[in-house]
Amino acid sequence: MPDQYAVIGNPVAHSKSPLIHAAFARQTGQDLVYERLLAPKDAFVATANAFRARGGRGLNVTLPFKGEAFRYATVLSERARSAQAVNTLKFDGDVIFADNTDGAGLVNDLVRNLGCVIAGRRILLMGAGGAASGVIEPLLQQQPAQFALANRTPEKTQSLAQSFRGALEAVSYSALAGRQFDLVVNATSASLAGELPQLPPGVFARGALAYDMMYGRGETPFLAFARSEGAAQLADGLGMLVEQAAESFYIWRGLRPDSAPVLQQLRQMKDD
Ligand code: ATR
């Protein structure tokens, strides 16, 4: 029987992960199946346990279970520990190894696919939920000159800035007036509701890249705003999705798939 993997979430029907991992498996000649696993909101642990009991080898974890998966793990990677959220589980006997590949996915998409240089540049990250906290450490490792973190609710940015010992600066959206950034990343869930964070005009420096971790049909409200503000480069989160999957695939199978053709395939489907 092929090794079994799945993405667990609620909702999960929309997830593109099965398609991505099937493409990676074909490309690398790996014998595996990858399904969608819908867990009731109050039954993450029971659903994950049942999957393990029937031989499941690993899970990707999506909303709203990334925090619960963190607590479910018996061994945490450094990345999972710093994010306090988990998107990848690997099962090996009694061991539940947990990692967070979201940040590496974002950085790989920025650096390799989009040719973005982060070192020495000014970054603005918007949002202070699980999506934001998962990408802070890998972004910091790229050694930006400035790292500002903005959120609608200021208490959350302050506590995140404290947990990263002052390596980032907690700011309110209104305090960004008059400042400029080379990379602006939207890690809020605002695009889901067709909204955008209350950014003042003029935050995009010359040559700036605007990155929305969300993706979907059409431009997100944040990317539309960035375009109207003259941002030089716009990117949605589809590349990050494929790159975080490639990193999970590597954890499970020890092989690095080529993400480029898979990203291209997904972009074509999106345009259809
Ligand atoms: P996730 O795990 O996707 O990060 P989350 O933990 O619910 O989800 O966090 C959502 C983030 O999007 C929060 O930072 C939230 O801001 P608040 O902390 O102030 O609630 C942010 N967010 C959601 N809608 C927003 C909007 N319309 N404008 C600005 N920020 C928004």
Q: Which two tokens stand for residue 70?
A: 């963190």
Shared domain for 26 and 116, answered yes or no, is no
**pLDDT at residue number 27:** 97
Shared domain for 124 and 197, answered yes or no, is yes
Shared domain for 228 and 194, answered yes or no, is yes
Shared domain for 43 and 72, answered yes or no, is yes
Q: List the one residue out of 35, 63, 15 whose CA is nearest residue 241.
A: 15
Burial track 70-84 (b if 16+ CB lie within 10 A, e otherwise) = bebbeebbebbebbb
Q: What is the pTM of this model?
A: 0.94
- CATH code of the domain covering residue 10: 3.40.50.10860
Shared domain for 107 and 229, answered yes or no, is yes
Shared domain for 53 and 12, answered yes or no, is yes
Q: Is the CB of 239 under 6 A from ligand 1?
A: no
Residue 27 Cα to ligand 1 middle (Å): 36
**pLDDT at residue number 218:** 85
Shared domain for 127 and 193, answered yes or no, is yes
Strands 181-186 and 169-171 come out as unpaired
Shared domain for 117 and 216, answered yes or no, is yes
Digits of tens for pLDDT over the chain (272 positions)?
899 999 999 999 999 999 999 999 999 999 999 999 999 999 999 999 999 999 999 999 998 999 999 999 999 999 999 888 999 999 999 999 999 999 999 999 999 999 999 999 999 999 998 889 889 999 999 999 999 999 999 999 998 888 888 889 999 999 999 999 999 999 999 988 999 999 999 999 999 999 999 988 889 999 999 999 999 999 999 999 999 999 999 999 999 999 999 999 999 986 66
What is the Cα–Cα distance from 16 to 20, expressed in whole angstroms? Answer: 6
Residue 34 Cα to ligand 1 middle (Å): 30
Shared domain for 109 and 229, answered yes or no, is yes
Q: Which domain holds residue 14?
A: 3-100+239-271
CB atoms closer than 10 angstroms to residue 49: 13
Q: Residue with the nearest Cα to atom 2 of ligand 1? A: 130
Shared domain for 91 and 130, answered yes or no, is no
**pLDDT at residue number 192:** 84
Amino acid in the structure at residue 219 = E
Catalytic residues: 66
Shared domain for 80 and 179, answered yes or no, is no
Annotate 88-149 with three-state secondary structure: EEEEECCEEEEECCHHHHHHHHHHHHCCCCCCCCEEEEECCCHHHHHHHHHHHHCCCCEEEE
CA dihedral 32, 37, 42, 45 (to 10 degrees): -10
* Count of domains for the chain: 2
Shared domain for 183 and 75, answered yes or no, is no
Residue 55 Cα to ligand 1 middle (Å): 36
**pLDDT at residue number 271:** 65
- CATH code of the domain covering residue 166: 3.40.50.720
Q: Is the CB of 190 under 6 A from ligand 1?
A: yes
